[in-house]
Amino acid sequence: MAVGELARGWVKDSPLTYDEEKLKAAPWYYLDPTTGIMQTGWQFLGNRWYYLHSSGAMATGWYQEGSTWYYLNASNGDMKTGWFQVNGNWYYAYDSGALAVNTTVGGYYLNYNGEWVK
């Protein structure tokens, strides 16, 4: 991107100097491809759902909206659905991304935290 050119799409807020650890920790933002306006809230991009905080920064990991929990991939921020594993625990998220809790899915019981109880 040339100096002064309007940024569009996914943009990483990176430091001006190269520091690998700072670059990894820098948040991602999504700018509308047509207007360049920073987006917030739930966004459906490239057939995947993402959540962008009010600051515009992409959410990763566990995210709670009201009483519903979602898991957003720690590496790329896309919303998980179906069976997935975090820190050795198995979870199930419906097609909406909402975490299944206190229920049985496919014969497997999920507790109040949404963890599969063996």
**Domain presence at residue 15:** yes
**Domain presence at residue 98:** no
- Confidence class of residue 7 from pLDDT cuts 50, 70 and 90? low
Q: Which tens digit of pLDDT belongs to each residue from 96-116? A: 999 999 999 999 999 999 999
Number of domains in the chain: 1
Is the pLDDT at 8 greater than 80? The verdict is no
Q: Which tens digit of pLDDT belongs to each residue from 23-61? A: 455 789 999 988 889 999 999 999 999 999 999 999 999
Q: Helix/strand/coil (H, E, C) string of 26-76? A: CCEEEECCCCCCECCEEEEECCEEEEECCCCCECCEEEEECCEEEEECCCC
Question: Residue 41: which CATH number?
Answer: 2.10.270.10
Residue type for 77, please?
G
pTM for the model: 0.81
Range of the domain at 51: 1-60
**Domain presence at residue 97:** no
**Domain presence at residue 31:** yes
**Domain presence at residue 103:** no
Euclidean distance between CA atoms 29 and 4, whole angstroms: 18
**Domain presence at residue 78:** no
Residues 76/58, Cβ–Cβ less than 8 Å? no
pLDDT at 3: 47
pLDDT at 6: 64
**Domain presence at residue 20:** yes
